[in-house]
Amino acid sequence: MATVNENGGTAEKPKKSKVFLIILIALVVAGTWFGVSKWHHAKLHEETDDAQIAANISPIIPRISGYVREVRVTDNQLVKKGDTLLVLDDRDERIKLEQAEAALATAQSNLLSAKSSSVAAHSNIGTSEYASLAIDGQIERAKVSVWQTTQEFDRYANLIKDHSVTQQQYEDKLAAKELAEKQLVILQQQKKQASSATNAVSTQAASTESQISIANATIKQRQVDVDDAKLNLSYTVLTSPADGMVSKVNVQVGQFLSAGQSIFSIVLDQSLWVIANFKETQLGKIKIGQPVEVEVDALSGHVFQATVGSFSPATGATFALLPPDNASGNFVKVVQRLPVKIEFSNPQDSLLGRLRAGMNVNVDVHIGN
């Protein structure tokens, strides 16, 4: 169709571009497909990029204080379980061990002395008891002698009244009677002394028995001191608790280390896993055992296969140094994140050895078919 221009001529009406229409339709179709695919993917997957590689990290901590004598590892060195990492100066600990061993030897000598004293005390008890029995026999003989001399004296006392015996004979019997009586008294006193001596020896024997018990207890204490000294001596050599890789070693020869001071760490290589911090609104359909795809930022293009392992018992904010207290002031609702442990399910993947703790990853959990 033609139109009349200002000069009275005719001009053709411009045609609409079909290319623009085709591009517009293509964009609409592509956008629709992209939106539908994303919507469909979102229904069957839960994703987060708030995730990192985790591993067991064992700190190397000296149990005793001391000066560093040797450092046998360097930064990023691979070590095996039991490998020596560093050695502390052990001269002080060796001296303490020698002192403990000397004290133990002294305690053992005291035990032998106490046992010898106990044997002697028991022997003295037997001797004292035998002496006491001998005195008992002498006392019985002395009693018989007193009875006999008393009987003779009584007869002579009656005879001297009618002068049937001489005064000298009478006095001899009197002297014999008094001598027998005094001998009995002496023996009775000796009996008391022997009983006292027996009691004293028995007390001494009981004392030596208690000394043996004390000596045994002292030996046990000194043995504990020796064991403790040996244990502290062993602590002067720090070894690797497991296979792994050494972190940065911030220790120099001659440096003083305090007991309980963390000096460096060993990243253990037994296993690696992923800690993914999902929003609480994402957790409704995530279950243990669901398949997971893990993409590591450092290894772009490679997908690691994994599964959901477990859920943290509390949100990350709960374990924070200063956890929020919503009851203390104005409340602003913030979506919380819960750590979820993701375990790699393909240990044969050759690229697992290139993963390091702390690497950022993207996690895609398959929550449905």
DSSP-assigned letter for residue 177: H
Q: What is the pLDDT of residue 133?
A: 62
Give me the residue spans of the domains in the chain. Answer: 47-88+246-366, 91-234
DSSP string, 6-68: TTS-EEEPPPPPHHHHHHHHHHHHHHHHHHHHHHHHHHHEEEEEEEEEEEEEEEE--SS-EEE
The CA–CA distances, whole Å, from 142 to 78, 150, 169, 186, 316 equal 98, 12, 22, 10, 102
Whole-prediction pTM value? 0.63
DSSP-assigned letter for residue 334: -
Q: For the chain, which ranges sit under pLDDT 50?
A: 1-2
Q: What is the pLDDT of residue 113?
A: 76
Angle formed by the axes of helices 167-234 and 91-159, nearest 10°:
170
Q: Cα separation of 284 and 278, whole Å? A: 11
Q: Is 42:366 a contact under the CB 8 Å cutoff?
A: no
The fold adopted by the segment(s) 47-88+246-366 is Elongation Factor Tu (Ef-tu); domain 3 (2.40.30)
Token pair recorded at residue 299:
């290894």
Q: What is the pLDDT of residue 30?
A: 80
Domain 91-234 sits in CATH 3.40.50.150? no
Q: What is the pLDDT of residue 363?
A: 93
CA angle 48, 52, 53 (to 5 degrees): 135
Q: Cα separation of 230 and 235, whole Å? A: 9
Same fold, 47-88+246-366 and 91-234: no
Q: Cα separation of 135 and 351, whole Å? A: 101
Q: What is the pLDDT of residue 1?
A: 47
Q: Cα separation of 288 and 304, whole Å? A: 18
Q: What is the pLDDT of residue 112?
A: 80
